[in-house]
A = this chain, B = another copy of it.
Amino acid sequence: MTDIGKIGSHRLHAGRIINLDLDEIRFPDGSTGSLEIIRHPGASAVVPLLSDLHGNDPQILLIKQYRYATDGYLFEIPAGRLDGGETPEACAKRELQEETGCTAGKLVFLTSMWTTPGFTDERIHLFMAEGLTAGDSAREADEFIETVPVSLSRALEMIKTGEIQDSKTALAILYVAGFKAGK
């Protein structure tokens, strides 16, 4: 048996958001060791487009959200964890609706990324949403969110200046800008 990867696993903490495991691992050189890992179901995030992507400086919808982990508010795009059995597409549509009230006419997949592979298996799936229809939001009790429409050029400036400090948000906006540029 020379397969690399998991040999054994011990759950250290089963939480509301987080499961923490201590896994026994066989490394690529055949040696073994243990590693703490946060097990995560994965997440989706979506850039809501308020106007035609190929028009002059399209508008997108950011959210400004209280994040305890950062001790303040962050500019982000709508996002959240995959509920049991949910596809990334369904999650993106649901989070968009819950956090902004908008329903997507069309969802375009951008990419999937590991958020921080040193200690978690969280993978985030990035989308953009076109053809939005406004409606009522349905935020959870511990979500404090306001919506902030900005132009794509302003969003790129916010990444450069450090006003946008959330990884998934910066990545997804840079992707959308690449799509617009036809790259």
- CB pair A37–B69 under 8 Å, yes or no, is yes
Of the candidate stretches A48-56, A96-104, A164-172, the one touching chain B is: A164-172
Report which of B16, B81, B162 forms a contact with A111, defined as CB distance below 8 A: B162
Count of interface residues, chain A, beta-carbon cutoff 8 Å: 61
Report which of B69, B111, B121 forms a contact with A119, defined as CB distance below 8 A: B69
Let me know if A74 is at the binding interface, CB within 8 A. Answer: yes
Q: Which chain B positions have C-beta within 8 A of A69?
A: 37, 114, 117-121
- CB pair B170–A5 under 8 Å, yes or no, is no
Complex CA gap A25/B144 in Å reads 13
Complex CA gap A37/B38 in Å reads 11
Copies of this protein, total: 2
- CB pair A17–B118 under 8 Å, yes or no, is yes
Let me know if A107 is at the binding interface, CB within 8 A. Answer: no
Let me know if A148 is at the binding interface, CB within 8 A. Answer: no
Within 8 A of B (CB), among A20-67: 20, 22-23, 25, 27-29, 31, 33, 35-38, 40, 43, 66-67
Residues of A near any B CB (own CB < 8 A): 4-6, 12-13, 15-18, 20, 22-23, 25, 27-29, 31, 33, 35-38, 40, 43, 66-71, 74, 81, 111-122, 124, 141-142, 144, 156, 159-160, 162, 165-168, 170-171, 174, 178, 183
